[in-house]
């Protein structure tokens, strides 16, 4: 649904150059909620602004719903109308809502419809239907100043939906909100994604946001995507930074002659007594250092950090046993070795 290839953005100001995007290949499938996470300055906002051509990429291409927006933007004024139309099918939600304070809630939602030339009666019908969709039917005549932050963001979302977009872009839509309101806004985005089949690309620096609503995620560092995939692919990648951050496990090794192993259970594997089988089969004592069960991307996943007596070399067979049970096994401290082996 959204594809960028080799996307680069270099800002030039007062003789200085900043490379905000450095060859970004992003692929967001139709109907998914895709989260991009990264530290401040990683290039997240630049990416989202290049996706809807609010910012002109320095090089590379952006395709949304099969249309090459970068090509349209490059064709000069005659393609301007086409580009505007294509952009009206991309909704955008902002961190600070960007509502006009002098306009009522309904008039704020009607604004993009006015720009699209929709007639007064149709505009009003549509705006009220959208406000109903986001749970604000009773606030149509209020002004932004009379709303809470969460309500303002609902107006921002209704406005973003005015052009019947196929794609919704959200840049830190919840970072100005408290945790409870954040949850309700994320739930709304999830509902819209499901009810309207909307593809959502959201930018955040909060891992909890990715955890609660995203089907897929990418990690950005210094203008590049360093990891990406569906949440279950990420969780199945040894040494994945995103997986570790999505699902942190703690527990320190208790001695030098010990092997620490992270075991991840997906689906039905969670209910089998594999740890007691392992203990009985190899006659070893297993300590549980940490464990957690959580829902990530709508999937139930269990994780456990266990410790086996002896060094890694002594535990190759029991670790093989765990792998044979269909469990994902990460030997703590061995990630670098595993990644290298995988790359061979
Ligand atoms: N208009 C601009 N002119 C010059 N440099 C810019 C401009 N916009 C962004 N940058 C620079 O590009 C880099 C990436 O910025 P960007 O806003 O994309 O980061 P971000 O990941 O969204 O960060 P944050 O989490 O703080 O919002 C930064 O070094 C920033 O200073
Ligand atoms: Mg930003």
Encoded tokens for 120: 């007064």
> Contact at 8 Å (CB) between 222 and 23?
no
* Tens digits of residue pLDDT in 104-160: 999 999 999 998 889 999 999 999 999 999 999 999 999 999 999 999 999 999 999
At residue 338, the pLDDT reads: 45
| Atom from ligand 1 closest to the CA of residue 13 | 4
At residue 58, the pLDDT reads: 96
Contacts 24+ apart (CB under 8 A), 19-23: 19/223, 20/46, 20/223, 21/46, 21/47, 21/50, 21/57, 21/58, 21/60, 21/223, 22/222, 22/223, 22/224, 23/60, 23/224
Instruction: Pick the residue whose CA is nearest to atom 26 on ligand 1.
Output: 40
Encoded tokens for 307: 């410790």
Name the architecture of domain 247-343: 2-Layer Sandwich (3.30)
* Tens digits of residue pLDDT in 321-336: 999 988 888 888 765 4
Please report, for the chain, the start and end positions of each structural domain, with discontinuous segments joined by +.
2-235, 247-343
If pLDDT is split at 50, 70 and 90, which confidence band does 265 have?
Answer: confident
Q: Coil, strand or helix: which one is 322?
A: helix
Q: Is the CB of 21 under 6 A from ligand 1?
A: no
Q: What is the pTM of this model?
A: 0.85
Instruction: Pick the residue whose CA is nearest to atom 29 on ligand 1.
Output: 41
Of all residues in the chain, what percent carry a pLDDT higher than 90? Answer: 65
> How far is the centre of ligand 1, averaged over its atoms, from the C-alpha of 42 (Å)?
7
Reading across the β-sheet that carries 287-296, which strands appear in turn? 287-296, 299-309, 258-266, 328-331
Higher per-residue confidence, 302 vs 148: 148
CATH number among 3.40.50.300, 3.40.720.10, 1.10.1530.10, 3.90.550.10, domain 2-235: 3.40.50.300
Residue 188 DSSP symbol = H
If pLDDT is split at 50, 70 and 90, which confidence band does 83 have?
Answer: confident
User: Which residues lie below 8 Å from residue 306, measured CB to CB, with a gap of 6+?
Assistant: 260, 261, 263, 275, 286, 287, 288, 289
Mean pLDDT of 16-40: 96
Residue 309 clears pLDDT 90, i.e. is over it: yes
Nearest Cα residue to 254 out of 206, 308, 304: 308
Q: Coil, strand or helix: which one is 319?
A: helix
Q: Is the CB of 40 under 6 A from ligand 1?
A: yes
Nearest Cα residue to 93 out of 32, 9, 1, 167: 167
Mean pLDDT of 63-84: 83
User: Which residues lie below 8 Å from residue 200, measured CB to CB, with a gap of 6+?
Assistant: 32, 33, 34, 167, 168, 169, 170, 189, 192, 193
Q: Coil, strand or helix: which one is 222?
A: coil
Instruction: Pick the residue whose CA is nearest to atom 12 on ligand 1.
Output: 20
> How far is the centre of ligand 2, averaged over its atoms, from the C-alpha of 219 (Å)?
14
Longest dimension (CA), the chain: 78
Substitution site in 15, 36, 41 for ligand 1 pocket (most atoms within 8 Å of beta carbon): 41
Mean pLDDT of 298-310: 85
If pLDDT is split at 50, 70 and 90, which confidence band does 270 have?
Answer: low
At residue 229, the pLDDT reads: 94
Substitution site in 7, 11, 12 for ligand 1 pocket (most atoms within 8 Å of beta carbon): 11
* Tens digits of residue pLDDT in 199-243: 999 999 888 888 889 999 999 999 999 999 998 888 777 778 888
Residue with tokens 């290049």: 50
């Amino acid at each position: 649904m959204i594809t960028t290839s080799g996307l680069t953005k270099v800002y030039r100001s007062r003789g200085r150059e900043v490379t905000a995007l450095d060859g970004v290949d992003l692929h967001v499938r139709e109907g998914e909620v895709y989260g991009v996470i990264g530290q401040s300055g990683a290039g997240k906002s630049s990416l989202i602004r290049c996706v809807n051509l609010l910012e002109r990429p320095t090089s590379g291409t952006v395709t949304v719903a099969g249309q090459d927006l970068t090509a349209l933007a490059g064709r000069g004024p005659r393609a301007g109308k086409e580009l505007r139309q294509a952009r009206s099918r991309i909704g955008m939600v902002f961190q600070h809502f960007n509502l006009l304070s002098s306009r009522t809630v309904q008039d704020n939602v009607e604004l993009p419809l006015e720009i699209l030339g929709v007639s007064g009666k149709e505009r009003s019908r549509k705006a009220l239907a959208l406000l109903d969709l986001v749970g604000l039917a009773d606030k149509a005549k209020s002004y932004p100043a009379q709303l809470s932050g969460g309500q303002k963001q609902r107006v921002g979302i209704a406005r973003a939906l005015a052009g019947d977009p196929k794609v919704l872009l959200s840049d830190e839509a919840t970072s100005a909100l408290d945790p409870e309101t954040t949850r309700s806004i994320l739930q709304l985005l999830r509902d819209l994604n499901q009810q309207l089949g909307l593809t959502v690309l959201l930018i955040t620096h909060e891992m909890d946001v990715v955890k609660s609503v995203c089907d897929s995620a990418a990690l950005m560092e210094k203008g590049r995507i360093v990891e990406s995939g569906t949440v279950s692919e990420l969780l199945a990648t040894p040494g994945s930074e995103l997986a570790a951050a999505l699902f942190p496990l703690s527990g320190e090794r208790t001695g030098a002659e010990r092997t620490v192993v992270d075991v991840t259970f997906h689906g039905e594997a969670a209910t089998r007594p594999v740890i007691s089988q392992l203990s009985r089969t190899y006659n070893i004592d297993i300590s549980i250092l940490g464990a957690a069960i959580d829902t990530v991307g709508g999937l139930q996943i269990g994780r456990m950090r266990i410790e086996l007596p002896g060094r890694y070399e002594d535990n190759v067979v029991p670790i093989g046993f765990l792998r044979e049970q269909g469990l994902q096994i990460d030997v703590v401290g061995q990630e670098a070795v595993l990644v290298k082996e995988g790359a061979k």
